[in-house]
Amino acid sequence: MIYTAQYDSPLGTMLLASDGTALTALDFDDTSDCIRGMQKDLPVFEETFRWLDLYFSGKVPDCMPQLAPKGTAFQHAVWDILRTIPYGKTTTYGRIAAQLAETRGGRMSAQAVGGAVGRNPISILIPCHRVIGADGSLTGYAGGMERKDFLLRLEGSYS
């Protein structure tokens, strides 16, 4: 069973999904790929609301709800790296590709990393917005470039 909730952020309504225990998706309502399920109050939603409240107030959240994004092994490897990018810092697709190549062996393409970053189902908590172009420019963000700019400015990592 999929359970859902809504969160009103400064950037618009966000939809949350859970398997009943962990957060499985978080996306903006106007960009969501149809997060649907039964609305229900769950501890994981309350934990996520608390995290988002802290984050949008400009504070570094001190808690992380349990996350269970669905994806391939490669996507999970990329998302695990995204979770290590500190608040207020950015990285590039190329740096993530180099990290993966180092740990997995062989070569890794920045384009493949970009594909996995773009399929991140848990926006903001898995901070795909912290990935920028090699030249320091803002690059694609499923939630929209204005939102990416807002999030990076909120964190003080982009001017």
The DSSP bridge partners found for residue 122 are 26
Max distance between CA atoms of the chain, in angstroms, equals 45
Q: How many CA atoms lie within 13 A of 147 on its CB side?
A: 22
Measured CA to CA, the distance from residue 148 to residue 144 in angstroms comes to 6
- The Cα 41–Cα 5 span in angstroms is 7
How is the chain split among helix, strand and coil, in percent rounded to 5?
35, 20, 45
The catalytic site residues sit at 128
Torsion angle defined by CA atoms of residues 81, 82, 84 and 88, in that order, rounded to the nearest 10 degrees: 150
